[in-house]
Amino acid sequence: MAATQVTGTPGEETAAQAAQTEGGTAPAEVDSAQEGHDRPLEAGEAVEEPQSFPVTVIVRRYDPEVDDEPRWVDYDVQMFATERILDALHRIKWEQDPSLAFRRSCAHGVCGSDAMRINGKNRLACKALVKDFDTSKPIYVEAIKGLPLEKDLIVNMEPFFDSFREIQPFLQASSKPEKERHQTIAQRERFDDTTKCILCAACTTSCPVFWTDGQYFGPAAIVNAHRFIFDSRDEASQVRLDILNDREGVWRCRTTFNCTDACPRGIQVTKAIAEVKQAMMTGVKL
Amino acid sequence: MTTTIENPNYAYPARSAGRRGPNLEKAGWIFMRASGVVLVVLIFGHLAYNLLWTPGGIHAVDFGFVGGKLAQPFWQWWDVLMLWLAILHGSNGMRTIVNDYVHKPTIRAVALWAIGIAAAILIILGTLITFTFNPCPEGADPSLLPSFCAEL
């Protein structure tokens, strides 16, 4: 059975073709896949090699030492459909203009360094695939909004992290467990969604309330407060609720769902904020 | 070895720490939701009674009709409740918009005071008129007045 299956897989064809004897013969009968792994195969249909195509990327550049105002600069790059916007930025930086400044670290959607506004929507450049964009039109890339612009795609994240620190994002418990703090699966499930946050700031900088009022805690801080408020092991839920029951706290949320749309981890941000509001009115329900 | 950090968050006191006065944001948020639900009942009840229940619909609404309604305590309280909730709900919404969009402290203060004063005037005048309204002014054409004026 295994021997017949091998013939159809397109990925193996190039390797198989190389090993093929002249003229192309039908595969010899074998007893097992292992025995037949190097036997000649029939030539299949040729697979078309992926072609690169030109993409125009327009980046909002800003050099504080030269520019008074940010300016849009066009770059043409050859891209493959499977590549990401981050690859386009790399290509620009490495091949065209080394002065382009942007943050990125892991480049795989985990570290949260490269949140930026691509075609008007906050995303991680390392998770935005070229094939998902209409490449007949230019792709616009700019820094996330609402935080002080430092250079090109880099913003000052300190106000964002200040809000994060303020909600006390660490476990607070008075007792010391003998070995470890136990939690049921259901108790862990309660705050599972908000543990996914990577602090990329895509949600906070997509929030219209945050754009106009930098004092607002912002979705990311509330999400991280939610992660501890609904943690059965934590004892400082009320402290965090008091901090967020502020003029600049959860009540400023207008439930526009921009944060939920922007979150690259798919966290239901607006729902988390609503749950924190609910906890302020009726107490924390774990 | 374990270390105890006495006050791990010392560098980041809560934003509200230095603020004076009560924090009414939570009360305001709850009020907006509660008053919204009540207003839906009050306003649609008002429209249904005036336009559907009363024969003649919109054409029957005249001085006599309104005067007759405002002579009954039930409709007085209905209208006053509607007035208070609608004005407070609306002006709190305006306050929210100003807080969201107006950043210059002076303009913001002026706008907030203007909204507050307008709301206060509307509520005081409206309440006063609802409870002191005279449906049978002297010397008026009796055909324009509520029917019960003839019995006075």
- Whether residue A2 is contained in a domain is answered as no
Distances (CA, A) of B146 to A33, B115, B126: 99, 36, 21
- Say if residue B25's pLDDT is above 80: yes
Q: Is the ipTM of this complex over 0.90?
A: no
- Tell me the pairing of strands A53-61 and A139-142: parallel
* B99 chain-A contacts, CB cut-off 8 A: 213, 252
Interval A98-115: pLDDT, tens: 999 999 999 999 999 999
**Cα angle B11-A238-A225, degrees, rounded to a multiple of 5:** 65
Inform me whether the C-beta atom of residue B5 falls under 8 Å from chain A C-beta atoms: no
Q: Is A163 found in the same domain as A92? A: no
- Whether residue A246 is contained in a domain is answered as yes
Q: Is A267 found in the same domain as A167? A: yes
- Whether residue A39 is contained in a domain is answered as no
CATH number assigned to the domain comprising residue A58: 3.10.20.30
- Whether residue A264 is contained in a domain is answered as yes
| pLDDT band for position A258 (cuts 50, 70, 90) | very high
How confident is the model at residue B35, as a pLDDT?
97
Percentage of residues in chain A with pLDDT exceeding 70? Answer: 86
For residues A209-218, average pLDDT: 90
- Say if residue A60's pLDDT is above 90: yes
CATH number assigned to the domain comprising residue A229: 1.10.1060.10
Q: Which residue has the higher pLDDT, B58 or A154?
A: A154
Inform me whether the C-beta atom of residue A175 falls under 8 Å from chain B C-beta atoms: no
Supply the angle between the helices A269-282 and A219-229 in degrees, to the nearest 10.
60
Q: Is A165 found in the same domain as A278? A: yes
Question: Would the CB atoms of B11 and A246 count as touching at under 8 Å?
Answer: no
Question: Would the CB atoms of B29 and A162 count as touching at under 8 Å?
Answer: no
- Whether residue A177 is contained in a domain is answered as no
Q: Is A231 found in the same domain as A137? A: no
Q: Is A136 found in the same domain as A87? A: yes
How confident is the model at residue B93, as a pLDDT?
95
Supply the angle between the helices A219-229 and A158-166 in degrees, to the nearest 10.
30
Q: Is A163 found in the same domain as A132? A: no
- Whether residue A9 is contained in a domain is answered as no
Q: Is A167 found in the same domain as A275? A: yes
Question: Would the CB atoms of B9 and A165 count as touching at under 8 Å?
Answer: yes
Question: Would the CB atoms of A281 and B30 count as touching at under 8 Å?
Answer: yes
Q: Is A137 found in the same domain as A76? A: yes
- Say if residue B12's pLDDT is above 70: no
Inform me whether the C-beta atom of residue A246 falls under 8 Å from chain B C-beta atoms: yes
- Say if residue B3's pLDDT is above 90: no
- Say if residue A84's pLDDT is above 70: yes
What is the span of the domain harbouring residue A252?
A: 158-171+184-282
Q: Which residue has the higher pLDDT, A184 or A13?
A: A184
How confident is the model at residue B24, as a pLDDT?
85
How confident is the model at residue A130, as a pLDDT?
95
How confident is the model at residue A3, as a pLDDT?
43
How confident is the model at residue A137, as a pLDDT?
96
Q: How does the average pLDDT of chain A come out, rounded? A: 88
- Say if residue A93's pLDDT is above 90: yes
- Say if residue A48's pLDDT is above 90: no
Q: Is A130 found in the same domain as A73? A: yes
- Rounded Cα–Cα distance for residues A50 and A34 (Å): 31
Q: Is A162 found in the same domain as A252? A: yes
- Whether residue A23 is contained in a domain is answered as no
Question: Would the CB atoms of A247 and B26 count as touching at under 8 Å?
Answer: no
User: SS in 3 state form for A225-265?
Assistant: HHHHHCCCCCCCHHHHHHHHCCCCCHHHCCCCCHHHHHCCC
- Whether residue A130 is contained in a domain is answered as yes
**Partner-chain residue, chosen from A162, A245, A248, that has the shortest CB–CB distance to B26:** A245
How confident is the model at residue A26, as a pLDDT?
60
Interval A129-154: pLDDT, tens: 999 999 999 999 999 999 999 999 99
Distances (CA, A) of A234 to A175, A279, B96: 10, 15, 34
**Partner-chain residue, chosen from B14, B26, B100, that has the shortest CB–CB distance to A166:** B14
- Rounded Cα–Cα distance for residues A171 and A163 (Å): 17
How confident is the model at residue A19, as a pLDDT?
47
Give exposure, A194-225, as e/b (b: 16+ Cβ within 10 Å). Answer: beebbbbbbbbbbbebbbebeebbbbbbbbbb
Q: Is A210 found in the same domain as A146? A: no
Q: Rounded to the nearest 5°, which phi and psi values hold at A74?
A: -90, 140
- Rounded Cα–Cα distance for residues B78 and B70 (Å): 10
Interval B70-113: pLDDT, tens: 889 999 999 999 999 999 999 999 999 998 888 888 999 999 99
Q: Which one, of A106, A118, A111, lies nearest residue A153 by Cα?
A: A118
For residues A189-195, average pLDDT: 96
Q: Is A149 found in the same domain as A188? A: no
User: For residue A265, what are the β-bridge partners?
Assistant: none
Instruction: Give the long-range contacts of residues A41-48, CB within 8 A, separation 24 or more.
Output: A41/A6, A41/A7, A41/A12, A41/A13, A41/A16, A41/A17, A42/A7, A43/A13, A43/A17, A44/A7, A44/A8, A44/A10, A44/A13, A45/A10, A47/A10, A47/A13, A47/A14
For residues B18-35, average pLDDT: 84
Domain count, chain A: 2
How confident is the model at residue B137, as a pLDDT?
83
| pLDDT band for position B13 (cuts 50, 70, 90) | low
- Give residues 41 to 80 of B whose Cβ lies within 8 Å of A: none
User: For residue A57, what are the β-bridge partners?
Assistant: A75, A139
Q: Which residue has the higher pLDDT, A41 or A207?
A: A207
How confident is the model at residue A140, as a pLDDT?
97
Inform me whether the C-beta atom of residue A242 falls under 8 Å from chain B C-beta atoms: yes
Confirm if B47 and A267 have CB atoms less than 8 A apart. no
How confident is the model at residue B9, as a pLDDT?
52
